[in-house]
Amino acid sequence: MNKIRGLSKYHMSMTEDLNIRSNKFVIIFANNCNIIISNTMERIEKGQIVLFERNINITLKITKFTDDAPYEYIELEKEDTDNVLKIMEPMYSLSQPDTIPCDLVKRIFIIDDDITAHYLFDKIKQNKNIRLKAYEIACLLSMTEEVDKVFVSLARSATLLFCDKIRKLIESDTAKKWQLSLISDEINISEVAIRKKLENEQTSFYQILLDVRMQKAAKLILKNDLQIGKISKLVGISSVSYFIKVFRTYYGVTPKNYFSYHKKIIFNDFRKLSETR
C-alpha cells in the first residue's frame, strides 16, 4: 500500500478517494469505514478484511464513520509470503503460478466480519516471531471463501519477475536520474528487449520508475524529518512543484494531506504496540 499507497485522516469530507498501487501482498482491515473499489464496484463493509494481490492498481472510495483512522493494513514481505506458501502447499496444489496478472476481480478477496479474523489481524501486526506470524497469516487467509484461489494469488505475489530486477536497481539509488539507456547498460540487455519483457508483464520502465519514486517519497514524508524540497531531490525530481503534482496524481492527495491522513494510523499502530509491552 512501498508502502501501500496510501491511507489515514485529514480535515476534509468523510468520504475520500485514494489511489492504491503496492508491490506487496496487502491485507486491509476496514475497522472504521466502508470501502468501495471503484475499478470493480466491490464493496467492503465495516469490519471486513480485504486481501489485495501484489502489483494491483486500484482506486478506493473510503467512507469513515468517526474521526479515527479509517482502517489498518499489513504488507507481506517476500519472506512472509514464502513462509505462508510452505504452510499452505500441502493442502493446495500448484503446478506453476500464472505470472501474468489476471482479471482484477480475481486478485481481490474479502473476509467477512468475524471476531476471530479481527484477532488474527491484530496478532499478525504485533508478532515479531516470523514462523508463528506465518501460521497466523495462513489461518487468516483460510477464512476466505476461495482459499485455493488465494493460494494461487499469493504464489503470484511471491514470484520474482523481470520488473522486480528493474525495481531493485532503481531502488539502489532513487536520487539518480534514471533513463532506460542507463538500465540497459547496467544489466547488459538492449532497450528493445527490456521494453518487450516489461510489456509481457503488463508494465513499463516509466511505470516502475514512478512507483519506486512515489513509494520512496511516501516513506520519507511519513518520517516527517525532511523538507519537501529535499524529498523531491531524493527521489530524482528537481522541481518541487512538479513533484507535488506527480504525487497528487499518483496518490490522489497532496504530500501534506497524505501525511495528515496517515499519521493517525501510525499513532494507532504505536499505541497498540505499546499496550502489548
Say yes or no to pLDDT of 197 above 50: yes
Tens digit of each residue's pLDDT (9 = 90 or more) over 230-248: 999 999 999 999 999 999 9
Compare 225 and 242 and report the one with higher pLDDT: 242
Which band of pLDDT confidence, cut at 50, 70 and 90, is reported for residue 6?
A: very low
Structural domains of the chain ordered from first start: 15-160 (2.60.120.810), 162-200+203-261 (1.10.10.60)
- Print the SS3 string covering the chain: CCCCCCCCCCCCCCEEEEEEEECCEEEEECCCEEEEECCCCEEECCCCEEEECCCEEEEEEEEECCCCCCCEEEEECHHHHHHHHHHHCCCCCCCCCCCCCCCHHHHEEEECCCHHHHHHHHHHHHCCCHHHHHHHHHHHHCCCCCHHHHHHHHHHHHCCCHHHHHHHHHHCCCCCCCCHHHHHHHHCCCHHHHHHHHHHCCCCHHHHHHHHHHHHHHHHHHHCCCCHHHHHHHCCCCCHHHHHHHHHHHHCCCHHHHHHHHHHHHHHHHHHHHHCC
pTM for the predicted model, two decimal places: 0.79
